[in-house]
Every structure is written in structure tokens, then in C-alpha cells.
Amino acid sequence: MIVYGGSALIGAASVPQLLPPDNLHGWLAVAARIANILFLGLVALTTIARLAPIMKSQGIETRISALLGTFLSIVLAFFSKAELGPIWLAVSTTLILVGTSLSIVVLRWLGKSFSIQAEARRLVTKGPYRIVRHPLYLCEGIALVGMTLQVLSPLAVLLAIVIVMIQCRRMINEERILRRAFPEYAAYAATTPFLIPTGAGRLANQAGAKLPAKAVDPHA
């Protein structure tokens, strides 16, 4: 909570440096920074208000994966920015803005079920969780693509690949906990795509009415 709250305050202090924007990329950069501040602040508040877990993952691997997956992308912020043209700058910043903004929406639906570690609180099957089982990871992945494009170095691409692999591991760890904690999760998983929206995701919207109104899980 302290890390997220502190990061939000630091980000807020940096906004005046981006003002006033003098081009499209400038406006996108300001919007992306504000979205990031709101997301970090919401994470901090949600961490305080979240429910107590009813089941936790065991083992050091799940903890290491959760911590690395959560904080490793911060390393990209310390890379030197690539010399991109205005179009690619706008595209990369838009990806960051869209990914972060959608993450805020998903986190609002996840609410008190949020966590860093793989833990079960409530099963959330509504909202974006009716489209895919792990929408927060998907949205964060969109932002990660934008961040990687702005650096665009072999090392940055390698780091992004490592982050994606770790996040996939986190999703698997969360799935195991959710399946053990919620018997109804199997039916939910059978009708809802894992990460990428497909036709099955649309069918899940119709099938969702037949599922318990409880909730999807903690993010991590």
C-alpha cells in the first residue's frame, strides 16, 4: 500500500512538468500520467479496504512470481527513451493510456477481491470478468506494450517477454487457488476465455446469468 500510495504522490508531483502540452503527444502523455496516478491511488485504497482472504497460495514460487510480476515493469521507466517519430510516440502513449484506463475500470469491478499474492477472496464473474477470466492482466499487458515501444531496445523487449512469462505464471497460480476455493469456478472457466477475448467470451455473457452472482478473484 505504501509503495503504491507513494508512487501515486510522486507521479502527481511530476504532472506540472508536463504542462502545458504543446502537441498531441503532450496531451496524451499528460492523460496517461494522470491515469497512472489514479490507478496507483486506487490500488492503494483497495489494498486497505479489501476483504480477508479465505484461501492463500503456498510456496515461495507464488510469492516471488507475484512480487516480480507486480514491480518488474517499473524497471522499464529507467531505460532511455527511443527516438520515435510523432506517430509511434502517439501510438505508444495511447497504448499506455488505454491500458491504464482500462485497468482502473477492471480494478473497480474487482474491488475488495484485489490482492498481490494469489489469494481467494470473492469470485467476481461480472463486468470485464464476463469477457475474460484475467482482464486486469490483459489491460496491464496493453500498457506494457506501449512502455516497451517507447524504449524499443533488445534488452527492453527481453524484459517485457520475461514479465509476460511471469504474469502467465501468476494467472496459473491464481486459477489453482480459485478452483480450490470456489467449486463454481469450473463452470465459469468453461464458458469464459482465459485472457484473450473470443467468441466464447460473448457466449459467456449469456451464460453468466446462470452463474452465481459471487465474485472473480484477486488480481495480484
Q: Tens digits of per-residue pLDDT, 70-118?
A: 999 989 988 999 989 999 999 999 999 999 999 999 999 999 999 999 9
Q: What is the CA radius of gyration of the chain?
A: 18
Mean predicted lDDT score pLDDT of the chain: 87
37 touches 15 (CB < 8 A): yes
C-alpha cell at 194: 482465459
- Please, what is the angle between helix 86-110 and helix 24-49, to 10°? 20
Give the C-alpha distances (Å, rounded to integers) separating 127 from 98, 110, 177, 205.
Answer: 17, 9, 21, 9
Q: Is residue 14 part of a domain?
A: no
The reported pLDDT for the residue numbered 146 is: 97
Domain count, the chain: 1
**DSSP track, 71-83:** HGGGGGGGSPPP-
Calpha distance 59→92 (Å, rounded): 37
3-state secondary structure at position 198:
coil
For residue 71, count CB atoms less than 10 angstroms from its CB and return exposed for 0-12, middle for 13-18, buried for 19 or more.
exposed
CATH classification of the domain holding 134: 1.20.120.1630
Band the pLDDT of 205: cuts 50, 70, 90: very low
| pLDDT exceeds 50 at position 52 | yes
Each as own residue / partner, the long-range contacts of residues 19-23 (CB below 8 Å, 24 or more positions apart, any chain) are 23/86
Helix (H, G, I), strand (E, B) or coil at 125: coil
Does 28 map to a domain? no
Alpha helices per DSSP H over 1-153: 2-14, 24-49, 60-71, 86-110, 135-151
- Is residue 108, in this structure, part of any structural domain at all? yes
Looking at per-residue pLDDT, the higher value among 26 and 143 belongs to 143
pLDDT tens digits, one per residue of 113-164: 999 999 999 999 999 999 999 999 999 999 999 999 999 899 999 999 999 9
79 belongs to a structural domain: yes
Is 32 within a domain?
A: no
Any domain includes 188: yes
Global confidence as pTM: 0.85
User: Do the domain assignments include residue 178?
Assistant: yes
120 and 181 Cβ atoms separated by less than 8 Å:
yes
Asked whether residue 198 is domain-assigned, the answer is yes
Q: Distance between CA 43 and CA 220 in Å, rounded?
A: 11
What's the domain range around 190? Answer: 54-210
